Amino acid sequence: MAAIKAFLIAGTHSGCGKTSVSLGIMASLARRGLHVQPFKCGPDFIDPGHHALACARGGQPVASHNLDGWMLASETNRDIFNRYAAGCDVAVAEGVMGLFDGISGTGDEGSTAQLAKILGLPVILVVDARSMARSAAALVSGYARFDPAVPIVGVVFNRVGGESHAELLREAMTLLPDVPVLGCLPRDESLAAPSRHLGLVTAGDDQEGPDRYQRLADWVDSGMDMDALLAGLPAVEAVPPFEPIPELGTVTIGVARDAAFCFYYEENLRLLREAGARLAEFSPIEDEHLPAGIQGLYLGGGYPELYSFELGQNTRLRREIREFCEAGHPVYAECGGFMYLMNDLATGRGRYAMAGVFPLRAEMDENHRALGYREISTRATTLLGPAGVTARGHEFHYSFIREGLDDPVLTPVYTMRGRKGVIDSPEGFVAGNTLGSYVHLHFGSCPSLAGAFVRACGGVTGGTSGEGADSGPGPLGPEPGWTG
């Protein structure tokens, strides 16, 4: 057993500065030479990318892993946490929304609080203290007493106006001696990461790069005693799950990975490798050909709308992907990847040709068109398994299908449910052996998905793709890492 320090950073509400505080704490601990393992609560692809760079060791990112009490079973969450926390010095999990916010107004399912209880992690509460003094203590009191099973071990006040404001906050908190003030962080709007639709700018597109994490670390160190924080935390046991050593991958799957396609759950990629897949990464923006020897494709989500011109200009790869799909090779595409497989994509800058696998047009809207958890069940056999497979994920996108849904060639195969029950909307489209959907599935919600997809890819015979393709495995990309 490995005893480590571990905690969960929660906020009172979205927008309280939870992500900035989390990144600052991660970066501060990492530059002390500690091995920091990050996690993200909830369905989010962007924050984990920032975590990975804030916790970098020797210049190498440390992959952050998603935890989710609604998409994943309690045991699955514990396995993910223990698998990656074991052997680290400190495990830091960033929460989602407000501490008690989840899928329901009356229960804790899908909330940060639920994960704190599942994992037995102490909670540090981030409070936006602007324009508050004694009222801040009343606010913290409500959070600390709302659910006694959620152990709030301290509070960090954010956006503090100055030392006199900090003194008032500390004085007010003497009324709550069981909730220590761990820090008062000064207001500094220059530290905020730039945002766009779907959330923060991705780590790869952040022009400030690693300097931002060091400035956040300086900010945290100016208002928090990190040594005292760690000393006051209880030790947590992280016992990695027993797993057999996976066999060497024998099926090669191409994974789209660049600025336009960067939204993948790390656990999805791990489960694919565990099921026998070798993952060959490629860029639909830059590469003219698919990796040689691939037997299937996984096109994840991201921002194809921001790179629609570049994607449209890469006619050679678009044609090759369409031919790959038409040849019957298994292709799984979700959200941005699904948009890329449509006929075209309309944005405010114009209309751009995509791969043309699905006779659909995607069009960007100014407001989100879907947002929330989703549970899908398949009505027919697909590359993810037989009819009746049920899995969970989420949906968050600003685009919508402008035209083509009445095409008789399309075959929607998902029955979909959201928070309020059945969603009467066509979803999960099949064209030959290609499955496309706006839903981001977490393979951990139904571990058979990964094995079914790998078996489907291994069962395809009669040629591969890529210039100079042969029957052998292609070059492998580097081992991997609520958004669209």
CA distance 309 to 349: 9
Identity (one letter) of the amino acid at 482?
W
CA distance 4 to 462: 51
C-beta separation of 301 from 334 below 8 A: yes
- Length of the chain measured in residues: 484
C-beta separation of 182 from 28 below 8 A: no
C-beta separation of 475 from 280 below 8 A: yes
Residues with active-site annotation:
335
| 3-class DSSP string for the chain | CEEEEEEEEEECCCCCCHHHHHHHHHHHHHCCCCCEEEEEECCCCHHHHHHHHHCCECCECCCCEEECCCCCCHHHHHHHHHHHHCCCCEEEEEEEEECCCCCCCCCCCCCHHHHHHHHCCCEEEEEECCCCCHHHHHHHHHHHHHCCCCCEEEEEEEEECCHHHHHHHHHHHCCCCCCCEEEEEECCHHHCCCEECCEECCHHHCCCCHHHHHHHHHHHHHHECHHHHHHHCCEEEECCCCCCCCCCCCEEEEEECCCCEEECCHHHHHHHHHCCEEEEEECCCCCCCCCCCCCEEEECEECHHHHHHHHHHCHHHHHHHHHHHHCCCCEEEECHHHHHCEEEEEECCEEEECCCCEEEEEEECCCCCEEEEEEEEECCCECCECCCCEEEEEEEECEEEEECCCCCCCEECEEEEECCEEECCCCCEEECCEEEECCEECHHHCCHHHHHHHHHHHCCCCCCCCCCCCCCCCCCCCCCCCCC
C-beta separation of 449 from 391 below 8 A: yes
Closest to 298 in 3D by CA, of 466, 427, 440: 440
CA distance 158 to 133: 12
